Amino acid sequence: MSGMFVFFGIIILIVFFFIGIYNALVRLRNQVKNAWSQIDVQLKRRHDLIPNLVETAKGYMKHERETLENITKARNLAANAGGTVGDKARAEGALSSAMGSFYVVVENYPDLKADQNFLALQEELTSTENKIAFARQGYNDQVLFYNNKIQMFPSNIVAGMFNFKEEEFFEIEDKSEREAPKVKF
């Protein structure tokens, strides 16, 4: 009789152990989603600022139509990028590259560099870029912790049973895109 209580006690402990692991995996998956939403908010802010910056620059940069069109195209692609985190990262990398080209061209327009609206927009964009970098770091930290939990024993057993999948890091593939655009006025 007491052997039966021990057996059921062990079964109950194992069940609670698996429930604890499952709940930890769900919590971590939700933290990854939350971290991604923080990046998404900052990317939206970036996408909203860029058209204002381009409009301000248009009056000064009449001969730089191709540069302005490239930024607009890259912004639209990044804003509408769907699919995986990698797809979004590639689109954002292309936008960063287009912005870098834009800032190089801006150097040729001293009147634009002195425009208060342009300076304010540029400062907001720089601030947003910093927030994106910080949010990306937070996201990647959460993904690392979540992926480690999925891969380590014994939580990998529960992860496999309930189809928890690894998350993708937000990485920039092109090394030249790893650097934030340098802006000098």
Q: What is the pTM of this model?
A: 0.79
Banded pLDDT at 174 (limits 50, 70, 90): low
Q: Per-residue b/e over 11-42, b at no fewer than 16 CB within 10 Å?
A: eeeeeeebeebbeebeebbebbeebbebbeeb
* Residue 101 CB contacts under 8 Å (≥ 6 apart), including other chains: 67, 70, 71
Cα separation of 71 and 33, whole Å? 29
Domains of the chain by residue range? 2-178
The class that CATH gives domain 2-178 is mainly alpha
Higher-confidence residue: 38 or 58? 38
Q: For 99-125, what is the HEC assignment?
A: HHHHHHHHCCCHHHHHCHHHHHHHHHH
DSSP tally for the chain: helices H, then strands E: 6, 0
Banded pLDDT at 150 (limits 50, 70, 90): very high
Q: Which of 48, 33, 16 is nearest to 168 (CA)?
A: 33
Q: What is the pLDDT of residues 61-91, one digit of tens each?
A: 777 788 888 889 999 999 998 888 888 988 9
Work out the mean pLDDT of the chain and round it to a whole number.
88
Least confident range from 4-13, 28-37, 112-121: namely 112-121
Average pLDDT of span 3-13: 92
Banded pLDDT at 32 (limits 50, 70, 90): very high
For residue 124, pLDDT beyond 50: yes
Q: Which of 125, 106, 105, 126 is nearest to 114 (CA)?
A: 106
